[in-house]
Amino acid sequence: TCPFELQLRATFRSGMTIPEQFRMNQLQKLLSLVEENEQLIIDALHKDLHKPKFESVLSEIQITLNDLYFAIENLRTWMQPEYNIGKNLATRMDECFIRREPLGVVLIIGAWNYPLHLILLPLVAAIAAGNCVILKPSEICQATEQLLAELIPKYLSQDCYAVLCGGAEETKSLLKNRFDHIFYTGSQAVARSILLAAAPHLTPVTLELGGKSPCFIYGRIDIQKAARRLCWSKFFNTGQSCVAPDYVLCTVETRDALLPAIQETLLSFYGSDPGEGPDMGRIVTLRHWRRLVDMLRKSKGKVVIGGDSREEDKYIAPTVLVDVPEADSLMQEEIFGPILPILTIESLEEGIDYINRQEKPLALYVFSDESSVVSTVLNNTSSGGFCGNDGIVHMALPGLPFGGVGASGMGSYHGRWGFETFSHRRSCMNRSWLLEMVNVLRYPPYSEYNLGWLRWATTLKKGSWGGCTVM
């Protein structure tokens, strides 16, 4: 049994996490944790991933602060009962509403590629919704893991929130406990184990996974701007982003124009030797590095940019390949590194067909100056998220839900969407003793006469549905 689970469950049953003031206080303390320890966070991320300060601030610290600001600003509104419920004649005098209630004790399992924000953003949502939380940071990024284990108990209530460190065996043991929700970010393989572990307790899960997110470049396009945005989103965090463009789809003509633009862009971004510059990170471990190098070695594609690697510091240069067949080693699973295959198609329809033959991706990107191209791809494909003429940035907005579909995940979070994920929407009705002449129609002995009147009284007429609360 997890030593924290029973303690946290007792705390939850006491009602300590329910009041708005308590939730607000904990969110403010989490805000202080991030603001007061920015340099320690930057140092830990550099030690784990060789992350440049710029990327650490942008993708780990600021995204967490923005979600906290958003939650603090909107918490009171989110907690209010929802009364805009459609009624029929039989319920016209009744009080009908929806309450958002916390689920209980929840488990959040983080990932190594963004080891701070992928554990703190779900935590923001879980705190806002009034839950007790056990956090399991990724053991692969040990400096960040240890920093979180030190800071969380220092800033947040130890009766309500706990950090458990350890590897695969500790996680496996942890999953034997009963939780009221499990939130996991990581690979599809581990996600299957999470689902199996959740099944005996019928525990609901949120799975934030990944997949091969395509970047479809088609039609009239400013090739220089496209190259800059493509390179930034692909090679940010050394390509170790679940929403990074995994491969490019374009025509031969677009590819031939794109390649020199990518070459020029990489030179301006990282210099002639990216491995010696300050702005290119490293692969997280030697195991991950060897996997990428092996994928590259087995590829039938032609390396036209980059291709260099160094085992001693886990470096792989930004690399671009062409003439990559559909069955290539690089196309069998998510790459998750600074390697970009370019596949060619002849038409918009062929590109859409290719995307739809694959598993649904976590993100889909379309670059085109023609709005009809962007809308055609949007309307004829499915993905967790979609962004036209840029990459990654859609996930930074708290008002947009972030999550996958199909093999790229289930459930979503960020902003209000995370609050909803960690809340139970409880349907409530307080009935009036009035209009008993309508209610007697349902009592035995049954008759066709009563049934006819009851059907009329319980039918939702036009205009009686009410509205939906906008998230």
Q: What is the rounded distance in angstroms from the CA atom of residue 471 to the CA atom of residue 468?
A: 9
Catalytic residue from among 242, 334, 387, 420 = 242
Calpha distance 367→347 (Å, rounded): 14
Max CA pair span of the chain: 88
On whether the CB atoms of residues 351 and 380 are closer than 8 A, the answer is no
List Cα–Cα distances, 362 to 33, 211, 345, in angstroms: 30, 6, 22
Q: Using the CB atoms, write b or e for 95-111: b if 16+ within 10 Å.
A: ebeeebebbbbbbbbbb
Return the beta strands (E) in 243-351 as ranges. 247-250, 302-305, 309-310, 315-316, 319-322, 339-344
Which residue is catalytic, options 208, 231, 334, 387?
208
Give the CA distances from residue 17 to residues 20, 94, 123, 365, in Å, rounded to whole numbers and listed in that order.
8, 30, 13, 40
Residue appearing with tokens 């962007």? 374
DSSP-derived letter for residue 90 is G
Rounded Cα–Cα distance for residues 97 and 111 (Å): 37
CA dist 211 and 83 (Å) reads: 39
- Region of 314 (left: φ > 0; alpha: ψ -120 to 50; beta: rest) is left
Radius of gyration of the chain (CA): 26
Please state, in angstroms and rounded to a whole number, the distance separating the CA atoms of residues 200 and 268.
54
Please confirm, yes or no, whether 73 is among the known catalytic residues: no
The kind and range of the H/E element at 67 are helix 63-79
Q: Is 242 a catalytic residue?
A: yes
| CA 466/CA 94 separation, integer angstroms | 14
Amino acid letter for position 320 = V
Count CB atoms within 10 A of the CB of residue 234: 28
d(CA 122, CA 341): 32
Q: Which positions are annotated as active-site residues? A: 208, 242
